[in-house]
Amino acid sequence: MNLESLKGRHLIDPEDFTMEELQALLDLGLKMEARPEDYADCCKGKIMGTLFYEPSTRTRLSFESAMLRLGGQVLGFSDAAVSSAAKGESLADTVRVMDDYAHTLVMRHPREGAPKLASQYATVPVINAGDGGHQHPTQTLTDLLTLQKYRGAIENLQVAFCGDLLFGRTVHSLLKTLCRFPGMTFYLVSPTELRIPGHLRDELQHRYHITLHETPHLDDCIEKIDLLYMTRIQKERFFNEEEYVKLKDSFILTRDKLKTAKEDLMVLHPLPRVNEIQYEVDEDPRARYFEQATMGVYIRMALLSAVMGVKLA
């Protein structure tokens, strides 16, 4: 399978790509990780535009690092306050203009659906780098590449998602994608207030025929799982501070809590971490969240080169 089918395509929702396309991207991501120097010039003459209307460290900078490593160039803004949005410019107008300045646009926005809207005004590929509490497809690609590299085949895994499953867009995208791989079992560990959105539950159950085990206790599944996906309580999406304060320390992963977990468990976290994983866990070989952040560069190199349809060495 080559990646030609991805040329010119938008990535708004992880379902935009077929399983074959996802696998081809992962294969390319692993090749780029092994021999980045082979790809050092393949985006020469190309420009990536970043439109970030929400804070970001890893996503924006790993996109930028990816583009620079491919020999391309980057421009954009990392804060809506320094863009013309602050003067009242519409998203559609900003996109129409940026479309002429860059060969692909990477957008993060607090409003769900904003990158989708942008894709309707753009002639170049638009990549969703996170829209509100909705989706974050390139984090999912990062998570998949980490699994592929450190685990091998992505199949027959018992996976626990823990934390803010209501607002956590990384969870929504990863759940919607992992359920397309064979033999997955999901444990959804959250306070009742932060269970996954009803529409996602319906989709997983009725469209993908997935059995979901929802529980407020990590202890219910810690011994069985192969992957523990920890997430931050998404403070910025809460309607009131009081509710956030009540829920913010719902789960704190410690060395002690991992005592009964499998030897080959993998602990992932999209980062940033606030309080949900204690620093002592970082020393545990099962903690892979920093390697995961590294993988984000390589999968974004693969994605950028594929959607811009550049010739690979």
Q: Is 216 annotated as a binding residue?
A: no
66 to each of 48, 61, 107, how far by Cα in Å? Answer: 10, 8, 15
Q: Is 255 annotated as a binding residue?
A: no
Give dist(CA 65, CA 59) in Å, integer. 10
Q: Which of 95, 106, 178, 271 binds ligand NCD (CB under 6 A)?
A: 271
**Closer CB to ligand NCD, residue 170 or residue 177?**
170
Site stretch for ligand NCD (CB under 6 A), options 146-154, 208-216, 257-265, 270-278: 270-278
184, 209 Cβ separation under 8 angstroms: no
**Closer CB to ligand NCD, residue 46 or residue 115?**
115
Q: Is 146 annotated as a binding residue?
A: no
Give dist(CA 213, CA 220) in Å, integer. 10
Q: Which of 10, 46, 58, 134 binds ligand NCD (CB under 6 A)?
A: 58
Residue 270 in the binding site for ligand NCD (CB under 6 A): yes
Nearest approach, Cβ of residue 123 and ligand NCD (Å)? 26
**Closer CB to ligand NCD, residue 85 or residue 271?**
271
305 to each of 100, 194, 309, how far by Cα in Å? Answer: 19, 37, 6
Q: Is 35 annotated as a binding residue?
A: no
**Closer CB to ligand NCD, residue 46 or residue 169?**
169
- Of residues 155, 194, 162, 199, the one with CA closest to residue 178: 155
Site for ligand NCD in 144-173 (CB under 6 A): 169-170
Helices (H), the chain: 19-34, 58-69, 91-101, 114-121, 137-151, 169-178, 198-202, 241-247, 289-307
Site stretch for ligand NCD (CB under 6 A), options 42-50, 183-191, 239-247, 269-277: 269-277
Residue 116 in the binding site for ligand NCD (CB under 6 A): no
Residue 292 in the binding site for ligand NCD (CB under 6 A): no
Is the bond preceding 272 in cis, omega lying within 30 degrees of 0?
A: yes
Give dist(CA 9, CA 124) in Å, integer. 8
Q: Is 269 annotated as a binding residue?
A: no
277, 253 Cβ separation under 8 angstroms: yes
Give dist(CA 184, CA 175) in Å, integer. 10
Site for ligand NCD in 220-239 (CB under 6 A): 232
Cα dihedral 176→56→144→39 (10° resolution): 130
Nearest approach, Cβ of residue 45 and ligand NCD (Å)? 28
Residue 177 in the binding site for ligand NCD (CB under 6 A): no
Residue 139 in the binding site for ligand NCD (CB under 6 A): yes
Which letter does DSSP use for residue 55 in this model? -
**Closer CB to ligand NCD, residue 52 or residue 187?**
52
Residue 59 in the binding site for ligand NCD (CB under 6 A): yes
3-state SS, residue 100: helix
Site stretch for ligand NCD (CB under 6 A), options 112-120, 171-179, 267-275, 304-312: 267-275
Site stretch for ligand NCD (CB under 6 A), options 45-53, 90-98, 198-206, 268-276: 268-276
- Of residues 277, 281, 272, 274, the one with CA closest to residue 252: 277
| Positions in the binding site for ligand NCD (CB under 6 A) | 58-59, 130, 136, 139, 169-170, 232, 270-272
